[in-house]
Amino acid sequence: MKKTITFLLSMGIVLCWNSTPLRAQGKSAGHGPSVNSGHGQSGSHNNSHTNSTTTTSAGQTGGHAGKTTWQTRFTDRLQSDPAFQTRIQALLPNGTDPAAAAAGFKNSGQFIAAMHVSKNLNIPFDQLKAKMTGVAAPSTTQTSTTQTSTTQTSPMSLGKAIQELKPALTQTQANEEAKKAATQATTTQKTGSTT
């Protein structure tokens, strides 16, 4: 009995002692030592970045990892749910890759609402996407060497983008169209194969 208690206490001390260096490094086990990568960032800054990336990867919204997660889930659903894929393809211009079209949007709801507005109001999807994401489609300029460039602007809400692309609509009408598209997006996301 005495040997068992001594053994357990010894193991507890060893475990606590071994975990001390991990705490000093910001619990970055498995990520290598915390070193300055040459970009002027301190070890503590890198650790907070690692922790925030881990947090957003776990399903919280915000950050680049969260965007990747919704797009990955969206693409997976397109591949595994034929009814959903058919519904999405019907909302996009012919020949448009849904995964490429989704790039830049904050979430699937915003993306699907934009597709509905494009269909409902006959607004070219690429123009609506450019307003909402703040990134215009790449354009090629003809010079001695061909160059591709993109234009960056501030992202707009769906209602504001509608109003700019359909100036005949009042802001109230544009907002109503945005609400209608959000409702349609919810219905579209519920569309799926019954398996």
Helix (H, G, I), strand (E, B) or coil at 147: strand
Check if the beta carbon of residue 20 is closer than 8 Å to that of residue 29: no
Residue-range domain boundaries for the chain = 65-195
Check if the beta carbon of residue 107 is closer than 8 Å to that of residue 114: no
Measured over the CA atoms of residue 164, residue 100, residue 108 and residue 90, the dihedral's sign is positive
Average pLDDT of span 59-84: 74
pLDDT > 50? residue 156: yes
Residue 5, judged by CB atoms within 10 A of its CB (0-12, 13-18, 19+), counts as exposed
Instruction: Render pLDDT for 86-108 as a digit per residue (tens, 0 to 9).
Output: 999 999 999 999 999 999 999 99
What global pTM score does this model have? 0.59
DSSP category for residue 136: P
